[in-house]
Structure 1
Amino acid sequence: MKCMYCHAEMKQSTVPFHIDRKGIHVSLDEVPAWLCSQCGESYFEATEVDSMQALVKVVEEQTLKLARVT
């Protein structure tokens, strides 16, 4: 696989992922990804993207439940 920015080779690795959304902060230390050996750009495959989106959705739903309790 080639990087779409610098066209260098991509290697399978793990990278951190952080998202801040609607007052929620999710941080994962090691998510499987393709990482460019030259520029450091990372790409996630669909499986990882789906898992991260599902995780954020569950955190949002649980946060809403907490907000209703207080």
Structure 2
Amino acid sequence: MNCMYCSGNMERGIAPFHTDRKGYHITLDRIPAWVCAQCGEVYFDEPEVEAIQEVLCTLDQRTEKLVKSA
């Protein structure tokens, strides 16, 4: 597989995922991913994306409860 940004070779590895949303910042340090050996671009496969989305949905629900009680 080639990187869509630089056409470098994609290799299996791990990568962090960071996001800021709805009043919180989350960092997941070691997510399995495809990482470009040339530019470092990261692609996550569908199972990892689904797992990340589950975590974010749960945090959104919990954060909403905290904001409402403040």
Is TM (by shorter chain) over 0.5?
A: yes
* Contact 1:24 1:60 (C-alpha < 8 Å) held by counterparts: no
Q: Aligned equivalents of 1:6 and 1:54: distance in 2?
A: 31
Letter in 2 for 1:27: T
1:65 aligns with 2:50: no
**Structure 2 regions of 5+ residues with no counterpart?**
none
**Structure 1 regions of 5+ residues with no counterpart?**
none
Quote the offset at 1:6 in angstroms: 1.3
In the alignment, what sits opposite 1:33? 33
Deviations 1:21-69 (A, max 9, x none): 1112111111111000001101011111111011011001011222334
SS at match of 2:50: helix
TM-score by length of structure 2 reads: 0.90
- Report the aligned-residue RMSD: 1.1
Q: Aligned equivalents of 1:21 and 1:39: distance in 2?
A: 26
Q: Where in structure 2 are the equivalents of 1:13-28 lying within 5 Å?
A: 13-28=13-28
TM-score by length of structure 1 reads: 0.90
Q: Aligned equivalents of 1:47 and 1:30: distance in 2?
A: 14
Percent of matched pairs sharing the same residue: 46
**Count of residues paired in the alignment:** 70
In the alignment, what sits opposite 1:54? 54
